Structure 1
């Protein structure tokens, strides 16, 4: 029972990212500053965690690959997600984030030479249909524009890189050690684009919630659960994240997807469930 509680906790904490991000912007911060402090705070905790665990250092070539991943999976991913929230709304950004499995299927075929079978074809098709329905449907306080869709899809694409990177490196090193390098690099990548503003105690509190609670502790809960239950079950439960985010957005910001967009969101999440089906050529 405990692993499932941890997974639900991780999904719930991830689901608060957009809420906290939007609240931070209302406190006068820019989306990229929010992304910067998220990377700084979570990266610092991962670094301390890795030193406490005395994990072995990364080899030189793997360290450079991790630096590149930090720029894409830290700088671009964190930045694009916050920009998606700011331009389109929490519910739209969180659903578009889960286009990641379709990007994974395509990139795994291109870069890892994995088979692209019927399951992956169905996954990509459902994702495209779902995004199209969301685009046509819109909603109340949900801004579906080319810009918001672009940031959301970029967030989904860079989120997909976590799978490819993990496939190559998570069996060689402790993930905490990898994030201890990747996220500080991600913060440095964002730094030139950040306009810093004075912050109230409330703003600092929101940033701490984003970096510590919604990022560091969420990942800790997810990785702890993943040691005890199959990855397929974990991925399905984690897909509750956009559902939780949409519910919170409705309560806090009065954001509501239209009926057609809700169908599209359901299709996108249904595509995630397709990843649990047996692969067939």
Structure 2
């Protein structure tokens, strides 16, 4: 069991590097959406090799259409909005707003999957709304916070939530490498109109390579390996260290910080994550 916890912790640490690594690529002159593009395509090479090694490269017609939609919404939508949130508001803010996802999952599952909207889920949604308000009013370093930072941060949370909704329909029937074999190039293709290719310094390519290999392919592989050893609810709780890691790295390398009200809002969002997870766990016992 200890091995399962360790694997999930490692995955969360790698996910926490996404914002800082993206910011390094921006500083090297690579546009945000191009960073998302290369993250997707370089990870696709690894997933394609994995799918071939498993001999699971075929998806049926109906599921293929769902995977294409998954690529547009959850690859283009999530990868693109997250890097734009990092650019607009910093790595720490982007990671915290990404974790509004469990509240959106609760609402979407209620409307789309006919799941019950329990008191704990409603409390989590309310805490998320208050948390976002606290961050918006408190601001980041210096008290400045753009509308774009909040918009793209919340959009990343919504598209991350849709990952779970699509997962109910697609990921339950196909191996993860098989799904990403088709979804990643679809999402990457949607990004092409939003940037121009050009010469980039080696530091930008190194950042993208680490994002693809470690924070995408590696992190998901470790997380799913951990899930085979421990309960999903426990894994989800452990994964909430991701925004903490991102905030610490952003403070250490870029001097990013929140005001006290911003930290209070961040705490409410993380509390909402725990309420959603623990409430779901009680419903299953």
TM range (shorter): over 0.9
CA separation of 1:142 and 1:218: change in aligned 2, threshold 3 A: farther
C-alpha RMSD of the superposition:
1.3
Q: Deviations over 1:103-142 (max 9, x none)?
A: 1011111111111111110110010011101111113167
- For the residue of structure 2 that corresponds to 1:256, the secondary structure is coil
TM-score, normalized by length of structure 1?
0.97
Q: Deviations over 1:77-109 (max 9, x none)?
A: 101000000001111100000000111011111
Matched residue pairs, number?
Answer: 280
Note the C-alpha offset of 1:197: 2.4
- The answer to whether the 8 A contact 1:122-1:271 is kept is yes
User: Counterpart of 2:140?
Assistant: 139
- The answer to whether the 8 A contact 1:142-1:256 is kept is no
User: Counterpart of 1:246?
Assistant: 247
- For the residue of structure 2 that corresponds to 1:257, the secondary structure is coil
2:145 & 2:234 partners in 1: Cα distance?
31
Runs of 4+ in 1 over 3 A off after TM superposition: none
Q: Deviations over 1:196-225 (max 9, x none)?
A: 221122221111011111111011100110
User: Counterpart of 1:202?
Assistant: 203
- The answer to whether the 8 A contact 1:71-1:189 is kept is yes
CA separation of 1:143 and 1:73: change in aligned 2, threshold 3 A: farther
Aligned runs of 1:68-79 on 2, under 5 Å? Answer: 68-79=69-80
Asked whether 1:167 is paired with 2:168, we answer yes
Note the C-alpha offset of 1:279: 4.1
Asked whether 1:123 is paired with 2:124, we answer yes
Q: Deviations over 1:156-179 (max 9, x none)?
A: 000001111112222211112111
User: Counterpart of 1:108?
Assistant: 109
1:24 & 1:246 partners in 2: Cα distance?
18
1:102 & 1:177 partners in 2: Cα distance?
28
- The answer to whether the 8 A contact 2:66-2:170 is kept is no
User: Counterpart of 2:274?
Assistant: 273
User: Counterpart of 1:148?
Assistant: 149
- The answer to whether the 8 A contact 1:29-1:196 is kept is no
Q: Deviations over 1:32-72 (max 9, x none)?
A: 00000011011221111101111262110000010011011
Aligned runs of 1:191-270 on 2, under 5 Å? Answer: 191-270=192-271
1:236 & 1:186 partners in 2: Cα distance?
28
- The answer to whether the 8 A contact 2:11-2:223 is kept is yes
Note the C-alpha offset of 1:143: 4.3
TM-score, normalized by length of structure 2?
0.95
Aligned runs of 1:22-33 on 2, under 5 Å? Answer: 22-33=23-34
User: Counterpart of 2:35?
Assistant: 34
User: Counterpart of 1:2?
Assistant: 3
User: Counterpart of 2:64?
Assistant: 63
1:267 & 1:39 partners in 2: Cα distance?
31
Note the C-alpha offset of 1:76: 1.4
- Comparing 191-200 with 69-78, greater Cα deviation is found at 191-200
Query: Unaligned regions of 5+ residues in structure 1, if any?
Result: none
Query: Unaligned regions of 5+ residues in structure 2, if any?
Result: none
